[in-house]
Amino acid sequence: MSTPAAPPTNGGSVRNGDASRDGFPGLPPFPNDVPTAPLLRISLAKLLANDQAEEDRFWQACCELGFFYIDLRTGGQSTDEIDGEALLQDAEKLFQVQEEFFGLPLEEKLKYDFKEQGSYFGYKGYGGGLVDKSGTPDRNEFYNTSKDDILGLSSPLPAPPNLNQYRPLFASYMRRSHAVVSLVLRILNARLGLPPGHLESLHRLDAPSGDQVRFVKAPPQPPKDRRTALGEHTDFGSVTVLFNRLGGLQVRLPSHIKPITPASPAPDANTNGAVNGSVEVNGAEENWAYVRPLPGHAIVNLGDAMVKFTAGVLRSNIHRVVNPPGEQAESTRYSLVYFARPEDEVVLRALRGGKVVEEAVKKRLGSGERWEEEEVSSKEWVLRRALGRRGVGSWEKSEGTEEVSLRKGQAV
């Protein structure tokens, strides 16, 4: 008789013997000899059932790292607004759609690059973004689809004819992802002691915002020349729901959080030097760990807006994408992302009216920190950050909450 996989005993991160490690059909397995990030696995079903222990773990993940897995299997029902299985199915279909899109000729895809019009929606070609301040080009392609466009809140942007037929699928995927985001916001709102519904009122699905779906394609890199495909960054908005199937995503762990390291790591030429969780970059030890993709789960991470709203109580962790590790190195990597951002006119500053944030603000001011909040709207912030990474405007101006992620200066 087969028994179900034992629940994880290490607070929910993933270890050997767990059925979720089986990988994705048709893709090479994620290796067992690279350091991985100890992300908690949070059950959507338990959050929906108001399980207090699960909420505690969720809160811990949001305050410590701002990154966790959400297990979407059996979360919600088809009659509910939140339906984990249906979200997984929509994601599955959109993985096929993105292969179809990226298969178009380059000249066709380039028609939908709107950078010159000051928009980050549409296409970004391979090498069209920067991975660092010295201007190193990236190694991936993007296609960004606006939620406002798909839901009819703005006039539609030109899009390839083969994508237009999938507008109902995009709409379904956006609504289902946004429903998960709303749940995340509702629980955070309560934990922060904010007036009921406050965070959700800043993220209404039917209000203009920079919410978007992103397709990402990164082809395998030549073995002798493997570099960062997507430069290190914190996400710009509030909550990101991410699906990927091959490794390559890495989070930069703050020094007090240790990666899960294999008992006896074998040196691996494809790990970007990250054996034992560290790489030497410009003389500084960084603490990078892979995020193991898990079937049936999405990766959820918080963005800059949540750090700003909470004066640093919640975290937006630095992450990047490198060539997939181990046997996966020769495969093309795709990912599918939903970025939820505050509504366009929301000003990104510490929220009033909740005891947790107010205490954090008092602490920062009381410690003599020079802390000034820039009056920047969500729309302006996202534009500045997105276009800055495409070489428009200054790199410094396009920086987010990286310093908080690294616990530099004030230990918030």
Ligand X SMILES: O=C(O)CCC(=O)C(=O)O
Least spacing, CB of residue 335 vs ligand X, in Å: 3
Among Fe ion, ligand X, none, what does residue 130 contact (CB within 5–8 Å per kind)?
none
Least spacing, CB of residue 381 vs Fe ion, in Å: 15
Residues between 361 and 380 that touch ligand X (CB under 6 A)? none
Residues between 300 and 339 that touch ligand X (CB under 6 A)? 319, 321, 335, 337
The distance of Cα 99 from the centroid of its chain, to the nearest Å, equals 20
Distances (CA, A) of 62 to 59, 277, 302: 5, 22, 7
Of the candidate residues 244, 270, 271, 317, the single one contacting ligand X (CB under 6 A): 244
- Exposure class string for 366-386: b at 16+ Cβ within 10 A, else e: eeeeeeeeeeeebbebbbbbb
Least spacing, CB of residue 311 vs ligand X, in Å: 24
Beta bridge partners of 111: none
Minimum CB distance to Fe ion smaller for 174 or for 275: 174
Three-class DSSP category at 165: coil
Minimum CB distance to ligand X smaller for 244 or for 405: 244
The distance of Cα 71 from the centroid of its chain, to the nearest Å, equals 15
Least spacing, CB of residue 395 vs Fe ion, in Å: 17
> In sequence order, which ranges of 111-150 are alpha helices (DSSP H)?
147-150
Minimum CB distance to Fe ion smaller for 178 or for 389: 389
Minimum CB distance to ligand X smaller for 131 or for 351: 131
Nearest to 128 by CA among 207, 212, 216: 216
Return contacts of 257-264, CB within 8 angstroms, 24+ apart: 257/38, 257/64, 257/65, 257/287, 258/38, 259/35, 259/36, 259/37, 259/38, 259/287, 259/289, 260/13, 260/14, 260/15, 260/35, 260/36, 260/37, 260/38, 260/289, 261/35, 262/32, 262/33, 262/34, 262/35
Of the candidate residues 87, 216, 307, 386, the single one contacting ligand X (CB under 6 A): 216
* 298 contacts ligand X (rule: CB under 6 A): no
Residues between 370 and 409 that touch Fe ion (CB under 5 A)? none
Per-residue x/- track, 78-117, Fe ion (CB under 5 A): ----------------------------------------
Least spacing, CB of residue 171 vs ligand X, in Å: 21
Among Fe ion, ligand X, none, what does residue 335 contact (CB within 5–8 Å per kind)?
ligand X
Rounded-to-integer distance, Cα 239 and Cα 302, Å: 5
* 304 contacts Fe ion (rule: CB under 5 A): no
Least spacing, CB of residue 291 vs ligand X, in Å: 7
The distance of Cα 336 from the centroid of its chain, to the nearest Å, equals 10
Rounded-to-integer distance, Cα 145 and Cα 164, Å: 11
* 61 contacts ligand X (rule: CB under 6 A): no
Note whether 236 and 179 are within 8 A (CB): no
Rounded-to-integer distance, Cα 42 and Cα 68, Å: 7
Per-residue x/- track, 247-286, ligand X (CB under 6 A): --x-------------------------------------
* 235 contacts Fe ion (rule: CB under 5 A): yes
Of the candidate residues 14, 242, 307, 382, the single one contacting ligand X (CB under 6 A): 242
Interface with ligand X by CB under 6 A: which residues?
214, 216, 230, 235, 242, 244, 249, 319, 321, 335, 337
